[in-house]
Amino acid sequence: MKAHDLTKAILADLPVRPVMEQIGPVILTHLKKAEDDVNGYSDFLKSKALIVANAGIPVELSAIHPTLFPFQRTLVQWALRKGRSAIFSDCGTGKTFMQLEWARLTGQRTLILAPLAVAQQTEREAKQIGLDVRYVRSQAQVQTQISVTNYEMLSHFDASQFGAVVLDESSILKSVDGKTRTALIETFQKTPYRLCCTATPAPNDIAEFANHSEFLGIASRVEMLSMFFVHDDDGWRMKGHAVEAFYRWMASWAMMLRTPSDLGFSDEGYVLPPLNVEHVTVDGDAQAVARAQGQLFSTGLNGITGRSAARKTTITQKVEAAAKIVNESSEQWIVWCGLNDEGREFNKACPDAVLVEGADPMDAKIKRIGGFLDGSTRVLTTKTSIAGFGLNLQNCHNMLFIGLNDSYESYYQAIRRSWRFGQESPVRVVVVISDVELPILENVQQKEAAAAETVAKMVERVSNYEREELGLVQVNKNGYHTDETVGEDFRLMLGDCAERMKELPDASVDLSVFSPPFLSLYVYSDSDRDMGNNRTPDDFFLQFAFMQQQLLRVLKPGRNVACHVSQVPAKLITDGFIGLKDFRGDVIASFLKAGFVYHGEVVIDKDPQAQAIRTHAKGLLFAQLKKDASWLRPGLADYILVFRKPGENSAAIHPDLTNDEWIEWARPIWYNIRESDTLNVAEGRSTQDERHIAPLQLGTIERCVRLWSNKGETVFSPFAGIGSEGYQAILSGRKFIGIELKQAYYDTARRNLQQAVNARTQKVMTLT
């Protein structure tokens, strides 16, 4: 009889079936899927891949405007196929042409949102590829298929009137205030086609990735964080085992490139000209900075107060040096300031300068920037927050900073307005700064070096996945392999338990003892076969059901499964609330659905203080006892859930227990289980593991083994870990079969099992 036939037969005969059906339709659906043939599990594993499905339209490359470069046409084709996507491409790689062609080929009425003056620039560039794109400020002005406006005009449009939207310089999702960002996300959440275009984001900029993902409807910030990141004392960081999965996921909805060669295309025409950065240092007043910080003596720049004081007290000196440099030149210059007083004083000192300030009317800003673009203005003075993003200012190859702040991004973006692909002249950048502000310059330089290195690593890491997503290469992702070790009284198998259990004969196991994963993504491995690596509890229990199907088959009738679980804490940042998830209850429900009988359970006493130290759980802290006891909760116990396979047990179990031991072990709570009574986990842990593997206490395993099996019988664990169940089973005179997915744990388990054999042999020799 096949395994799925056996499951069906058992389910048909179970008297608890009506009760089981009340537990919930989700797990019943899981069981139905788990009863499918071997292809069912393969299909399930494929469905686990964190790849965003196509939601767009197929378009032939030949349909895309021939003036676009091959890499641009390929990206447009991909973005149309995805429907909702992002192109993170460095300045000058033609994002405007790509987004215009994307908009045209969607066939939808499209709204392009762009920063100040970029909208007019988009309108001009559209004419180069024969498109009629109009700059508009309200819904009433929309007349063409493609319209472009400024982000400031968002409230003047009806999103339901557009089938597609483009965010040009979409890094604004990170830069704008929370209200505007939320408005963008909510306004276009039902728009079928969405495209974001901006420069390559900083690798560690979680906010930028999250905001793009949320705008595109890929995943919310909370969902992204829960899948790939962990929060510790240093803030959010990527889980060690989630790195490859994160970049593979990113490549399924975002393309990141610095140059075409990152995707395997030619870099012809995409070589940046030389960049020459000069530093001009003027004298500052260290004592004035000290006084501003409330100090008698100068101790350097301390926080925002010191930096602000240093910048304000040296405006005159910096402006004089800046004006001298610009006035001695006859070429165009962009002068970046950070304070209104810097810009105003510079414009007094430079007759050719035109100042653009944040308070200026929009029409005035657009006109003045336009005058610089057409060459009628020689010097443009403004802030990076006004013209530092999106604009193509390669008509100019000279720029000057009057002072700096600590933002590397604004510095980098400002430089890239002129230093971009298509610029034909070497770009000169002058930073005028006072000697007291040198720590700021050094900070920006350090960030610059770190960013260049990390972006290079990120693009290198993701490029293969991107090429595969574009259909340019095939990536071999099959790192799965199997192995087996057979020793005296044990058999250890490396691999996926849901598959390798099929190698075990029917009704060959006398007792199963194990602890399954507890809904923890990328904690111990990056494998899709890892049951911990499921996005939702439903997905976890679906994969768990494939294992349970095989467990029901290999277990002898009337025999038991001892499954160790604990409740799973819910966290505010990832779950939206602080509390508990009833993992114990869900496991019970899943075993009932799989055809087992719920036989009993044991609560294992735990030390709440040790938990508080280890987890920093709010509900266990002494501070909360005095602050607000409504948040206090008991420590989390462990549970041994006992399930029985229907049928009659053919071999009576005769535990080697005294009556006193039975009285103690028959209690609903097991006390005196030492939490430190475990095998050494250090050998099995890798540097990428987010948690120490927490093997079952040997005392707990001993009680399960001695209670529910006879000497000489076979104990089985589908999640062998470092071999704890097998170690104790062998010491207790039983045989063991275990399956482990992770190579490092398998290797450690193999040593531990052999040590148990050696220890038992030595004990027997000593007794004889």
What DSSP state is assigned to residue 744? H
Nearest to 749, CA basis, from 683, 688, 700, 698: 683
Residue ranges of alpha helices (H) inside 188-313 are: 206-215, 221-228, 243-251, 286-292, 303-312
Residue 733 sits at the vertex; the CA angle it makes with 728 and 738, to the nearest 5 degrees, is 50
Is-contact 377 335, C-beta < 8 A?
no
Phi, psi of 113, rounded to the nearest 5 degrees: -105, 130
Q: Following CA atoms 160, 163, 166, 171 in sequence, which dihedral angle do they give, to the nearest 10 degrees?
A: 50
Kind of pairing, strands 333-337 and 379-383? Answer: parallel
What does the DSSP assignment read for 314-368? THHHHHHHHHHHHHT--S-EEEEESSHHHHHHHHHH-TTEEE--TTS-HHHHHHH
Tokens, residue 229 = 């990141």
- 3-class DSSP assignment, residue 149: strand
Q: Count CB neighbours of 570 within 10 A.
A: 13
Is-contact 522 719, C-beta < 8 A?
no
Q: Which residue has the tokens 């009340």?
A: 22
Phi, psi of 6, rounded to the nearest 5 degrees: -60, -45
Q: At what angle do helices 38-48 and 537-554 cross, to 10 degrees?
A: 150
Q: Specify which residues 335 forms β-bridges with.
A: 381, 400
* Residue 763, Cβ density class (10 Å: 0-12 exposed, 13-18 middle, ≥19 buried): exposed
Specify the length of the chain in residues. 768
What is the distance of C-alpha 57 from the center of its chain? 27
Nearest to 528, CA basis, from 241, 254, 745: 241
Q: What contacts 371, CB < 8 A, 6 or more positions away? A: 354, 377
CA distances from 623 to 298, 317, 441, 614, 619 (A): 39, 53, 42, 16, 10
- In the chain (768 residues long), the average pLDDT of successive 10-residue segments reads 36 34 40 54 88 93 95 97 94 94 98 90 93 96 96 95 95 75 94 93 78 93 87 81 89 92 91 94 77 60 74 91 97 96 96 95 92 95 90 94 90 92 94 90 88 82 88 73 96 97 97 92 88 91 96 98 93 80 95 97 87 73 81 87 97 91 92 88 56 79 97 97 96 97 95 95 66
d(CA 554, CA 599): 18
The distance in angstroms from the start CA to the end CA of the chain is 46
- 3-class DSSP assignment, residue 171: coil
CATH for the 61-263 domain, from 1.20.950.20, 3.40.225.10, 3.40.50.10810, 2.40.30.60: 3.40.50.10810
Domain range summary for the chain, segments of one domain joined by +:
61-263, 275-437, 484-767
Q: Which CATH architecture has domain 484-767?
A: 3-Layer(aba) Sandwich (3.40)
Q: Count CB neighbours of 300 within 10 A.
A: 14
Q: What contacts 125, CB < 8 A, 6 or more positions away? A: 96, 97, 100
CA distances from 381 to 276, 280, 351 (A): 20, 18, 12
d(CA 539, CA 532): 10
Is-contact 538 588, C-beta < 8 A?
no
Q: How many helices (H) and strands (E) in the chain?
A: 30, 26
d(CA 714, CA 511): 7
Is-contact 152 117, C-beta < 8 A?
no
Element containing residue 699 per DSSP (H, E): helix 698-708
Kind of pairing, strands 714-717 and 509-514? Answer: parallel
- 3-class DSSP assignment, residue 184: helix
Q: Following CA atoms 407, 412, 414, 419 in sequence, which dihedral angle do they give, to the nearest 10 degrees?
A: 170
CA distances from 477 to 19, 227, 529, 673 (A): 43, 20, 13, 43
Listing from the earlier edge strand, what are the strands of the sheet with 84-89? Answer: 133-135, 146-150, 110-114, 164-168, 193-198, 84-89, 254-257
- 3-class DSSP assignment, residue 515: coil
Q: Count CB neighbours of 376 within 10 A.
A: 9
Is-contact 62 74, C-beta < 8 A?
no
Longest dimension (CA), the chain: 105
Say if 275-437 and 484-767 have the same CATH topology.
yes
d(CA 413, CA 394): 13
Tokens, residue 631 = 């948040």
CA distances from 326 to 307, 337, 352, 354 (A): 26, 14, 9, 13
Assessment of whether the complete model's pTM goes beyond 0.85: no
Q: What is the CATH code for 275-437?
A: 3.40.50.300
What does the DSSP assignment read for 258-278? SSGGGGT---TT--PPPEEEE
Phi, psi of 483, rounded to the nearest 5 degrees: -160, 175
Q: What is the model's pLDDT at position 381?
A: 97
Is-contact 86 167, C-beta < 8 A?
no
d(CA 365, CA 684): 62
* Residue 767, Cβ density class (10 Å: 0-12 exposed, 13-18 middle, ≥19 buried): exposed
Residue ranges of alpha helices (H) inside 423-571 are: 438-469, 497-500, 537-554
Residue 215 sits at the vertex; the CA angle it makes with 213 and 219, to the nearest 5 degrees, is 40
Residue 381 sits at the vertex; the CA angle it makes with 377 and 385, to the nearest 5 degrees, is 125
Q: What is the model's pLDDT at position 221?
A: 87
Nearest to 412, CA basis, from 388, 434, 435: 388
